[in-house]
Amino acid sequence: MELNYVILDPYESERIRTRQHLNELELLNLVGEFSNYNELKNFLQYENADLILIDPSLDIEKIINCIERQKLQKKIIFTSKRSKHAVKGYEIGILDFIPKPLNLNRFNIALDRMKKEKLPFTNINQESIQSIEVKHNLKTEKIILSSIQWIEAMGDYIKIVTPKKKYIVLSSMKKIQERIPKKLFFRCHKSYIINIDWVKSFSQTMIFLDKTAIPLSRSKKKIFQNLWAND
């Protein structure tokens, strides 16, 4: 099973250190890295994560309110040099507190606790899916995932675009995201999901797939740049 995680830490050097430590664990898949609460908040509006590592040194009250409002306690690990953050975290019922610098043995204890509590992990078999079936024009049709260029929100429907055909499907963006592999598709905007393999280039605000320009939201720019650099 694969565990998708994100990091919120106001200090770039600490984010790099945490990422380097956790890269040693094959179980983990980094899907977001943020320097402030607003970036994390925007991410959580459109995406899911199994585990959220937070240094709450800045905006702690906003972070606490977000955790309680979205009931994220059992996905949260606070990482900090301040013991008062441990107290705050345990008061609201977070999964764990790990003092900085991050210790892998201590981190593995937290992961074991997640497994015992049977929190939802992302099934790694999702990455082996080659196609999906959708209902289009009262027919069930199979779409090869690699042929999908982008997916676009249309109210209660979505539009799935391939070079040969466009499919109008009754679905939310969140539901279709659960059916497609995260390593191939990226939600670059609240209304768009792109197939990374079809990307030709990008600018500060747009992603270009052949002759089509897809908007790139400001909150997703840094994540996409990291994906592009590591592709």
pTM of model > 0.95:
no
Q: How confident is the model at residue 118 (pLDDT cuts 50, 70, 90)?
A: low
pLDDT value for 191: 96
The pLDDT tens digits for 49-98 are 889 999 999 889 999 999 998 889 989 999 999 989 999 999 999 999 99
Q: Is the pLDDT of residue 220 over 50?
A: yes
Mean pLDDT, the chain, integer:
88
Q: Is the pLDDT of residue 123 over 80?
A: no
Range 184-188, long-range pairs (CB < 8 A, 24+ positions): 184/145, 184/146, 185/148, 185/151, 186/220, 186/223, 186/224, 186/227, 187/46, 187/47, 187/220, 188/214, 188/215, 188/216, 188/217, 188/220, 188/224
Going along the chain from its start, the domains and CATH numbers come out as 3-122 (3.40.50.2300), 128-230 (2.40.50.1020)
List, in sequence order, every residue forming a beta bridge with 175; answer none if it has no partner: none
Q: Is 192 left (phi over 0), alpha (psi -120 to 50) or beta?
A: beta
Using CA atoms, how far apart are residues 220 and 189, in angstroms rounded to an integer? 7
pLDDT value for 120: 47
The pLDDT tens digits for 31-53 are 889 999 999 988 887 777 889 99
